Amino acid sequence: MIILASSSQYRKELLNRLALEFNTIAAEIDEDKYKNKNLDHIKIAETLSLEKAKEVQRNNLDAIIIGSDQVLSFEGEIFDKPMSEKKALEQLSRLQGKSHQLITSFSIIRKEKVITETVIANMYMKKLENDQIINYVKKDMPLYCCGSYKLESLGIALFDKIECEDDTSIIGLPLLKLIKALESFDIKIL
């Protein structure tokens, strides 16, 4: 059995693309506990993905568990999901015209076997007028998205350039590396 340790509809949609049977169980961990440790931002994403997988593994000892996390790193700071229009406007106002990194990690665990992988996307946001930012937030309502944008919809219009080895990582789960990792757990996609 495969379990995606997430309540994210975006991660679920991505994993569905692989035509695998899986269940989802949300991992209940205190993310702030890790984000406040002054760890490297890559290490935070990797640690959170592993901790989510471990949390779900406690009650599912024989399953293959996939945990994932995404961190937006901007000028030494981590941006969380905004959760409000006001915060989304603030985040986008700071990001506009500048670059940031979107760090996406996943961990797969089964018993003692663990694989953790990370993909970093370099995101170059356009210089935007205030009314463009307001219009975008009203139209796309990216309140539950890291960085206050949805690249899978209108959020793509916010960017000049994106450098990334796997564009699915931007949405929340790097499928190219995930497929390879699943194969090492004897899960064949094709």
Output helix, strand, coil percentages for the chain, rounded to the nearest 5.
35, 25, 35
- For residue 82, CA distances in Å to 137, 151, 182 come to 11, 15, 32
Q: According to the 3-state scheme, what is the secondary structure of 91-149?
A: HHHHHCCCEEEEEEEEEEEECCEEEEEEEEEEEEECCCCHHHHHHHHHHHCCCCCCCCC
Beta strands in 141-184 (DSSP E): 159-163
Angle at which helices 130-140 and 85-95 cross, to 10°: 130
Q: What is the dihedral of CA 8, 23, 179, 166, to 10 degrees?
A: -10
> From the centroid of its chain, how far is CA 86?
22
Q: Known catalytic residues?
A: 69
User: Residue 71, SS3?
Assistant: strand
Tell me if residue 79 falls in helix, strand or coil: strand
Residue 85 tokens read as: 């229009």
